[in-house]
């Protein structure tokens, strides 16, 4: 072989080696670049997921808070409306009771109250509290409870009698005021007006 051919082969071998090294280095660079791109993509996806998740959590929290606030407002409105309905019903009941007090049936009502008290207290002395406007009804009760003393009670607004027996320490409250007040709670519970 001549010197030039040797040299040419040597240069070809060096070029082939350089090309293979270049190809190997280019592949390593490409692999490194692809790995870094893949890692960056995964990190970007994870960051995006975390950001979306945080935003969704914040939005859910805001919706829950807004819903709870609105629900509370609606309950307040409902409570106010139900209270207004109950007030209207009981104002109408008060008006009917005022009409009842002015009827002949009211005297019979007071007689029944006195008879119940007589069953409870017997002939023992008792104090009968009446509304000031019922002063003229004392004789109806005294006919049944002759040992009774009478007093006017401004707290009795609608009528009826509160009869107290000091010896037994018992009070029989048969006022229309207390009867109506007792009915108010029953009405709210049974008329579907309770706010839950």
Higher pLDDT, 1 or 54: 54
Give residue 29's pLDDT band: very low, low, confident or very high (50, 70, 90): confident
pLDDT digits (tens, 9 = 90+) for 30-84: 888 888 888 888 888 888 888 888 888 898 898 889 988 889 888 888 878 888 8
Whether residue 140 is predicted with pLDDT greater than 70 in this model: the reply is yes
Fold (topology level) of 105-190: hypothetical protein PF0899 fold (3.30.2320)
Rounded-to-integer distance, Cα 144 and Cα 122, Å: 10
Delimit the domains of the chain by residue range. Answer: 1-102, 105-190
pLDDT over threshold 80, residue 192:
no
Strand partners, 133: none
pTM of the predicted structure, to 2 decimals: 0.59
Phi, psi of 194 (to 5 degrees): -75, 135
Phi-psi region of 124 (alpha: psi -120 to 50; beta: other; left: phi over 0): beta
Distance CA 186, CA 81 (A): 18
String of b and e for 60-89 (b: at least 16 CB within 10 Å)? eeeeeeeeeeeeeeeeeeeeeebeeebeeb
């Amino acid at each position: 072989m001549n010197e030039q051919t040797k040299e040419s082969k040597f240069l070809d071998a060096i070029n082939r080696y350089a090309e293979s090294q270049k190809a190997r280095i280019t592949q390593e660079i490409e692999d490194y670049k692809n790995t870094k791109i893949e890692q960056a993509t995964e990190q970007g996806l994870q960051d995006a997921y975390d950001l979306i998740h945080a935003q969704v959590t914040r939005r859910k929290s805001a919706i829950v808070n807004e819903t709870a606030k609105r629900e509370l407002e609606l309950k307040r409105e409902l409570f106010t409306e139900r209270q207004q309905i109950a007030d209207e019903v009981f104002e109408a009941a008060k008006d009917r009771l005022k009409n009842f007090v002015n009827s002949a049936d009211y005297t019979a009502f007071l007689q029944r109250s006195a008879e119940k008290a007589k069953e409870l207290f017997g002939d023992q002395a008792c104090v009968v509290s009446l509304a000031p406007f019922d002063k003229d009804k004392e004789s109806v009760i005294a006919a049944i409870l002759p040992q009774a003393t009478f007093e006017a009670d401004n707290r009795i607004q609608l009528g009826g009698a509160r009869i107290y027996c000091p010896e037994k320490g018992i009070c029989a409250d048969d006022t229309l005021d207390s009867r109506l007040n007792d009915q108010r709670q029953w009405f709210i519970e049974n008329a579907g007006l309770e706010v839950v």
